[in-house]
Each structure stands twice: as C-alpha cells, then as structure tokens.
Amino acid sequence: MSWDETTLGDHIDVISGPAFKSAQFTENKDDVPLIKGENIAQGYIAWNKSRYWPRNELNEHRKYWLEPGDLVLAMDRPWIPAGLKWAEIQGHDPLCLLVQRVARIRARGELHQRFLKYLIASKGFSDYIQNIMYGVNVPHISGKQIKAFPFLLPDLPTQERIAAILSAYDDLIENNRRRIALLEQAARLLYREWFVHFRFPGHETAKFVDGLPEGWRMRALSELAQITMGQSPKSEFYNNVGDGLPFHQGVTHYGFRFVEDKMFSTAITKLANAGDILFSVRAPVGRINYTLNNMVLGRGLSAFRSLSGHQSFLFYCLKSHFFKENLIGGGAIFAATNKKELESLEVICPSEALVALFDEKASMIDAQIKALSLKNRQLTKARDLLLPRLMDGRIPVKV
C-alpha cells in the first residue's frame, strides 16, 4: 500500500464567514445560531454560548450555512495560539451560520471527510498551525495556510477504515457527553423548580413573607462561599511539560464541566483546591467550571468553595444567578468584576434543611457527571495515542 505525499489545498474547500453586525445579534433561540470561536469546544459545538441571527435573514446567507460533517476551525485569538480549536457539525446540531475568523473545511475528490476530520485533530496539524500563525496583536491563521499543510494520503478504503476505528472512540465520547448534558439539565431544572418557581417539597403549606417562603432570605455571596481571587505568576514560570501545578487564568481550557490542564506553573501565587468552582471575572464574566486538581489561579479567575460544604448547591445557585456569560441575574452586563462586587452579590438562600436535601440529590448527579467526564478523558487519551500511528501508517490496517 502506498501513501501519496500531498497538501490539503489539493483536497479541500475552505471558506470563512462574514462579519455579522453584533447590533443585530439576538438572544432568541428560535433564530439561527452563529458559530463563533467561543462556541468551538474541541471536537463539538458548545451551543450554550451561542449568539443568534434573525431567521428571516437566513436565505441571504445561504453560502455560510453549516451542514452535518462540516469541520469548523477557530482562526484567531484566544484560540490561536492558546490551543487549536476545531469541531465537527453533527446530524443533531441545528442549522447554523459561519462567522468571520472561523473556517469551514470540506473534503473533495480522493479525500474522505471523516479522514479529514482526524487530520485536523492530529498533533501534526496542531503543531503546524502553531508554527505558522501570524499577526502581532491578533494572532490568526488564513485559509491559504490551512491549505498548505503537507500530509500522507492513503487510498479511500484505507481512509475509511482508519476513520471507522477512530470514530468508534468518538461515538462513545459523544454518547457520554450527551448523558452528561442531560444529567446537568436535570439538576438545573430541579434547582429552578425548587428555588426559582418555589415548588419545593412542602411548598403547598408554606407561608410567604415579602415574596419568599418563610425562613428563606437573601444573603450575600460571601456568607455562602469562600472566594479566592486569582493572581498570575510571571510568565517565566509557565511551562507546558507538567512542571509544578496546573495553571489557569481564563476560560480558554474550560470543558463542559471540568477544566483541562494544559499549562503549568512552578510558582504559586493564588491556589485553588481540587473540587473548587472556577468563576471567570473578566469577559466573559460568569463562566463556571470545576477543577479536578489543586491549581494555580490566574488573574482572570476566582475560586468558590461552599462554607457549609454544600458545593453542588453552590454550583447550581451560581449557574442560575449568572444565567448567561457576561450577564448577572438582574440582566446587567459586566466586562469584569472584582472580589468586593462578588462578595456583595445577593442570592436566595433557602432553609438549611432544604439546601441539604437539594445538595444530597444534586451531588449524586454530579458524581455521575464526574465519572462520565473521567471516562471521556480516558477514551480521548486512548484515541489520541492511536490517532497519529494510524494517520501516518505506523499501524497498518486491514481493509
């Protein structure tokens, strides 16, 4: 079996979207979601971060519709150079539109679309992009540079077999990801049912005082949580080889629930402990994740820990209060926030017994989410070890 030396430009079509005017963005989920860099979450689309475009203008942008199987690639900061971000549009994803600084990549001719997906996912492609990025103030890449990527191309049956082997891992990962999303939705709906709509156990006989059930009150966030603000070490202490503790100073390496440790620091300024809730304090304000490990907390993040030990209740309380990135419960938009503002924010605090009951239920859901997330990390690691050996022919496949 021979593999031909070639470049992507001979086998793909690449376009990027137009500069949609932000003044026309909507929050209406019946409109058409836009795929921006912030939506791209390493292999899949994070729809909860979407902005929308009026549906009645959809046909004017037919060229930029995204279809199942399309690959999208973020082309500028902060996703370049912090870490290559790409995703595949799935059959269950909604019809969506491509925007400026995001590339849509489609295979043609003798290149199979699923094989192309794993080329884009390969370390070789990521390293290539990191080495050729340009732009001093806004690092970005171009379609021309994407097309110049050199690779070895096997025949179509071999491409299909390689893609099938790797897709088996991705199918398991995607199934777990959907289960995680459903579990979190269940916990968030339970929180909303009990503490927003006041349909908690025993609500039928509850008395209300000033709009709240008797025994409930508004409390400052500082009464519920220990809040640690981040402080970044000097860059000379950063590394990506695992020396020191994991280091995060923004949302670049946020996952669906847990941050992914890509950068490390040998100097400790502020420390977040394993299990702490990470909260972004710079745009986008209010993005939330957990850390699985002790980590160095950079200036763009803060860490929250429940003073009563009800960490799951605190998590869903924050999720409800900061209901969309940059938005705080009352609808105010923040480019940044500080410790004083966070500590003084008031949230609804139910009775201790009800908080404990919710936390018991939610923590069981969260334990399932954690187990599935760790399983996905194992599957991803196994796939990523196998991927380069299949893609360059070191592991032969039978067709």
DSSP 6-34: EEGGGTEEEEE-----GGG-B--TTSEEE
- Of 129, 153, 177, which marks where a domain is finished? 153
Please choose, from the candidates 54, 40, 50, the residue with its C-alpha nearest in 3D space to the C-alpha of residue 83. 40
Please choose, from the candidates 17, 72, 78, 16, the residue with its C-alpha nearest in 3D space to the C-alpha of residue 44. 72
Same domain, 248 and 121: no
Q: In this structure, are strands 212-213 and 102-107 parallel, antiparallel, or unpaired?
A: unpaired
User: Looking at residue 326, what is its pLDDT?
Assistant: 45
> Is the bond into 78 cis (omega within 30 degrees of 0)?
yes
3-state secondary structure of 176: helix
Q: Judging by beta carbons within 10 Å of its beta carbon (0-12, 13-18, 19+), is residue 152 exposed, middle or buried?
A: middle
Same domain, 286 and 237: yes
Same domain, 9 and 148: yes
Residue 170 domain boundaries: 155-202+352-399
Q: Which CATH number fits the domain that encloses residue 110?
A: 3.90.220.20
The count of domains in the chain is: 3
DSSP 8-state class, residue 375: H
How many CB atoms sit inside 10 A of residue 344's CB? 10
CA atoms within 13 A on the CB side of 34: 25
CB 113 within 8 A of CB 106: yes
Longest dimension (CA), the chain: 78
Same domain, 295 and 382: no
Domain assignment present for residue 208? The answer is no
pLDDT tens digits, residue range 316-346?
A: 999 998 864 444 544 455 568 899 999 999 9
Domain assignment present for residue 207? The answer is no
How many CB atoms sit inside 10 A of residue 35's CB? 26
Task: Report the alpha-carbon distance of residue 394 to residue 388 in Å, rounded.
Answer: 8
Domain assignment present for residue 137? The answer is yes
- Of 349, 369, 386, which marks where a domain is finished? 349
Task: Report the alpha-carbon distance of residue 299 to residue 281 in Å, rounded.
Answer: 8
Domain assignment present for residue 309? The answer is yes
Same domain, 41 and 51: yes
End-to-end CA distance of the chain: 11
Write the CA distances from 130 to 75, 78, 140, 145, integer angstroms: 11, 13, 10, 11
pTM for this predicted structure: 0.83
Domain assignment present for residue 211? The answer is no
Amino acid letter, residue 31: D
Same domain, 143 and 198: no
Same domain, 13 and 88: yes
Task: Report the alpha-carbon distance of residue 203 to residue 311 in Å, rounded.
Answer: 24
Same domain, 179 and 59: no
Amino acid letter, residue 391: M
Give me the residues paired with residue 227 across strands: 304
Same domain, 139 and 43: yes
Domain assignment present for residue 255? The answer is yes
Element (H, E) at 157: helix 156-195
Q: CA angle at residue 297 from 291 to 303, to 5 degrees?
A: 60
Q: Which residues contact 241 (CB under 8 A, 6 or more apart)?
A: 264
Q: In this structure, are strands 32-35 and 96-98 parallel, antiparallel, or unpaired?
A: parallel
Domain assignment present for residue 358? The answer is yes
Domain assignment present for residue 168? The answer is yes
Same domain, 345 and 361: no
Same domain, 169 and 246: no
Task: Report the alpha-carbon distance of residue 125 to residue 283 in Å, rounded.
Answer: 29
- Phi, psi dihedrals of residue 98, rounded to the nearest 5°: -85, 145
pLDDT tens digits, residue range 56-113?
A: 998 899 999 999 999 999 887 655 545 578 999 988 889 999 998 899 999 999 999 9
- Residue ranges of the chain with per-residue pLDDT less than 50: 81, 136, 324-327, 329-331
CB 322 within 8 A of CB 286: yes
Same domain, 251 and 193: no
DSSP structure string for 77-94: TTHHHH---EEE--TTSP
- Of 153, 171, 189, which marks where a domain is finished? 153
Tokens describing residue 380: 């991803």
